[in-house]
A = this chain, B = another copy of it.
Amino acid sequence: LNTVSGVGVDQELISAVPSHNPTFVERNFTAEEISYCRSQPDPAASFAARWTGKEAVFKSLGVSSKGASASMKDIAILPDESGVPQVTLTGDAQAAAASKGISKILVSLSHSENVAIAFAQASS
C-alpha cells in the first residue's frame, strides 16, 4: 500500500512546444486544459509546463512509449483550488495505470523564462 512504483522527469524548451499550433493543442490537451492555459499570464509557458507534466506522468507509469506521435490528451493536469496540479487519467493512460495497480499520481510543474520542467510520481 502506498508503494511508489515509478517516477518521471521531463524538461522542454518552452519554444520547442508548439502551443501556437491548434492541431497539436487539440490533439494533446483537454478543453479544460486549453481554457486554463489560455487564461494564464503566459499561455505558451503554461502549455509547455503542462506538456512536460504529461510526459513526466507517462514516464512514471512505466509502460512502453507509443512513439512521439501518441496523443497525451488522456493525461490531464489541472490545478485544484489551492493551485496544486492534479492528474486525471482517461483511456489508454487510465488502463495502463490500472494494469500496474497505480492509484495515485503526484505531479509538480515549473517554468523559468525559457525552460519548463516537471516531476511525477506514481504509487499504489
Contacts and interface: CB of A to CB of B under 8 A. Distances in A.
Interface of A: 2-13, 16, 55-56, 59-60, 62-65, 81-84, 106-113, 115, 117-121, 123
Given A7-B119, A7-B121, A9-B118, 7 more contacts: A3-B123, A4-B123, A7-B108, A13-B112, A60-B108, A64-B82, A65-B83
B62 A6 contact: no
A9 B65 contact: no
Copies assembled: 3
26 contacts: A2-B3, A4-B4, A4-B121, A5-B106, A6-B84, A6-B106, A7-B106, A7-B107, A7-B119, A7-B121, A8-B108, A9-B109, A10-B110, A11-B115, A13-B113, A16-B113, A55-B110, A59-B84, A62-B82, A64-B81, A64-B83, A110-B117, A112-B115, A117-B117, A119-B119, A121-B121
